[in-house]
Structure 1
């Protein structure tokens, strides 16, 4: 048995705490992680800083990318009408296809979650 196989079998692996947020209509549940690594925080600071933006980006593009970055890093699961979506690629695809109301709700959830868990992270 190789080293990687032994590591995969480690049942005592630590997991970040999660918090569920239910939409006002009760049809959606967003599960967010309670951990954001220092490296991710530093990368988020760069992504969300309009001064660091490339010339082609405007302020709204920087804001959208910052929200997408937080969504990628914090969302573990998104359940809509009892159908869960998990995994980075499917979650990001669903976020990009979200309606304006869904995005507004998600932005509010990210603000609430970051205020509680990561007071140093400012959500646009």
Structure 2
């Protein structure tokens, strides 16, 4: 089988639409995906339910995990002071190192995005 034959069977990969959210000071831009699979929605429901949390987890732990879960699934890119971060692992590492103000801003952006794109997903 030649190279052309192998390439004929390939289908263009679909990409979810994205939306950019800039902070008021313009120093941060968060790019969020506009798609969340049914399986991810079900996993989020379990992750955000305090009744299904492990015994040692308190309400704040469940809230933090729910927000981190949405961050992992929805954030495609994060630019801070013109320094872009992309890719799942680097984005999660940057989120975990974020300041309290950055995390508050991210939570607000996730809430705004979910109200518009996923009305059934409630952000704590």
TM-score normalised by the chain length of structure 1: 0.92
CA RMSD of aligned residues (A): 1.7
Distance (whole Å) between structure 1 residues aligned to residue 13 and residue 99 of structure 2: 36
Q: How many residues end up aligned between the 2 structures?
A: 120
> For 1:78, what is the secondary structure of its paired residue?
strand
Q: Which residue of 1 aligns with 2:59?
A: 59
Please state how far the C-alpha of 1:12 moved relative to its aligned partner.
Answer: 2.5
Structure 1, residues 33-57: CA drift from partner, whole Å, max 9, x if none? 0000000000000000000010010
Q: Which residue of 1 aligns with 2:113?
A: 113
Distance (whole Å) between structure 2 residues aligned to residue 37 and residue 11 of structure 1: 20
Name stretches of at least 5 consecutive residues in structure 2 with no aligned partner.
none
TM-score normalised by the chain length of structure 2: 0.92
Q: Which residue of 2 aligns with 1:19?
A: 19
Asked if 1:72 corresponds to 2:80, the answer is no
Ranges of 4+ aligned residues in structure 1 off by more than 2 Å: 9-12
Q: Which residue of 2 aligns with 1:104?
A: 104
Instruction: Report the structure number with the largest CA radius of gyration.
Output: 2
